[in-house]
Amino acid sequence: MVAVAVAYFSTRNSNKPTPTVDYMTALKEKAYAKLDSGIVSDKLLNAETSDDDKEELFVRIPLDKLKPGTILDFGSKDDTNHRITVTLLSEKSAEVTIHDAVALKGDSTNIQSKIETGTYAISVFEGSQVLTDNSDNPLMQKAALILENLSYGADKGHPLLSKKYCIGKSKNVSGLESPVLRIYPWLDPINFPKSGQEFSFDKHQVLFGLSMKR
């Protein structure tokens, strides 16, 4: 009887269904683990990314550790006429491409696209040290990237390219909103003489795409 009982329980246990593995969660966690060391994946931010996953990504992305070849797309996935693409060329340099479009003579059916591309030097600052024109959404005490090339700007014949950009994380002072990763153009004293030389929140764009150059 003992032998029969042992055989019964052994057989019953072996017939238990194998626990299913949530492969999507496993892939996401693997991608986040790589992100912590600066390696990005387009699986982390695309059209299907949920708001909760975006919040985690914006908090977690290490701006000061991103590897060369990283591509950051700012703007809106629904508006292809106004975008900023930043490609990290090295730890100290980046390429910025501005996509813009205007209606000719006010005719919304006649859109002229404009593109400008420039190369910028990269510096890393504490976000709380960077001045913007919006005190309600200050940059967080996290690493922020400053891209600089003073040979651009409207006064240098490049109306779309700013002399500087800031890429950083900000959060409303109310604490009710989630952190957001944004790019801000600089309001330089030559082209914006009435400004306080801040980075412009009013002209900012939000990160909507993240990938690695193939």
pTM equals: 0.84
Q: Quick one: DSSP state of residue 63?
A: G
pLDDT in tens, the chain (214 residues): 444 444 434 444 555 555 555 766 787 888 888 999 999 988 788 778 888 888 889 989 999 999 999 999 999 877 778 899 999 999 999 999 999 987 776 677 777 889 999 999 999 999 989 999 999 999 999 999 999 999 999 999 999 999 999 999 999 988 788 899 999 999 999 999 999 999 999 999 999 999 998 7
What is the DSSP track for 38-55? T---TTSSSTT--HHHHH
Query: What's the burial of 48, exposed, middle or buried (CB within 10 Å: 0-12/13-18/19+)?
Result: exposed
For 153, left (φ over 0), alpha (ψ -120 to 50), or beta?
A: left
Instruction: Look up residue 196 and give its two tokens.
Output: 């306080």
